Amino acid sequence: MIKLGSIEAGGTKFICSVSDENLHVIAKTRFSTSSPDVMMPLIYQFFQEYQPRAIGIGCFGPIGIDPYSENYGKILATPKKGWDNYPFLEHIKKHINVPVFWTTDVNAAAYGEFWLGAGQGLHNIIYWTVGTGIGAGAIYNGQVLTGLSHSEMGHILVTRSQYDHFEGNCLYHYDCLESLASGPAIERRAGEKAEKLPKNSNQWDLEAYYLAQACVDVAMILSPEKIIFGGGVSNQEQLFPKIRYEYKKMIGGYLEPSPLEKFIVHAQLGNDAGTMGCLLLAKKLIEN
């Protein structure tokens, strides 16, 4: 049996998985994110037991993604203790000598949704994750879209609501999407965690206003066939009619797909999108 490996390296938790060649998960474990000295031996131990043929890694960013750059395989500037400029890929390859596909956590989740979730049968999609942070992955003609670096769509600038006087939650930008619409931003503004807010809270109207702007921006720039939302904040079902309503107002009939209920949707794979994307990318390495 050919075994495939997956590492979801997140800011709050790491999830390591192993599947067979048909993507049936046969082992899975998770660790709360702490320092590399603690995390890395746990990862090595897990995969040494199962011996996968290839591993897909989806890592929190920013990361070095250009194979020709000196920072390739590294976690770059991050406030997470011990991970700043950490050569993650180098250490994985040193201890687990198999082919590795290296990308961001949100790119991996986008790839999973494209092939196995809400993006099946399409060519171009955008996948947003809205939770502790905000990020997005673009799949273009079936491939993860990258350039000089990976996309940082969570830091696109948005127009602040006239009713929003919150100071923002991003260390770098006052009015970026993550600053105003991430889970921590909602909590700091409302004084309550997002999942505990009532469904009729005006915080959801404000959240939809910002997420709809993000949808308009990517629709205009990348022309996706579908926009998919995952992440903890996106699990609020009342959000989607509000996002579509705001999107329709903002887009003004320009490039408006029909119906919006099939254009702006929730992720089908839920919390498994990242794992399945990493496993698919590992399988791709073997097939190639």
Q: What is the pLDDT of residue 173?
A: 85
- Report all structural domains of the chain as residue ranges with CATH numbers, in order of start: 3-105 (3.30.420.40), 118-267 (3.30.420.40)
Q: What is the pLDDT of residue 152?
A: 85
Average the pLDDT over each of 115-129, 223-237, 248-262 and give the range with the smallest value: 248-262
Distance (Å, rounded) from C-alpha 81 to C-alpha 247? 38
Q: Which residues contact 143 (CB under 8 A, 6 or more apart)?
A: none
Model confidence at 276, pLDDT cuts 50, 70, 90, reads very high
pLDDT at 178 over 80: yes
80 contacts 63 by C-beta, under 8 angstroms: no
Q: What is the pLDDT of residue 231?
A: 92
Identify which of 185, 175, 171 has the alpha carbon closest to the alpha carbon of residue 77: 171
Identify which of 34, 43, 44, 19 has the alpha carbon closest to the alpha carbon of residue 112: 19
* Reported pTM: 0.93
Taking residues 95-100, what's their average pLDDT? 93
Residue 259, preceding peptide bond in cis (omega within 30° of 0) = yes
Query: What pLDDT, in 10s, does the model give residues 187-242?
Result: 999 999 999 999 999 999 999 999 999 999 999 999 999 999 999 999 999 999 99
Average pLDDT value over all residues in the chain: 93
Q: What are φ and ψ of residue 117, in 5° steps?
A: -120, -135
Q: What is the pLDDT of residue 150?
A: 78
Average the pLDDT over each of 101-105, 170-174, 177-181, 234-238 and give the range with the smallest value: 170-174
pLDDT at 16 over 80: yes
Q: What is the pLDDT of residue 145?
A: 86
Q: What is the pLDDT of residue 149?
A: 72
pLDDT at 58 over 80: yes
pLDDT at 148 over 80: no
Taking residues 99-109, what's their average pLDDT? 95
Query: What pLDDT, in 10s, does the model give residues 239-248?
Result: 999 999 999 9
Q: What is the pLDDT of residue 48?
A: 92
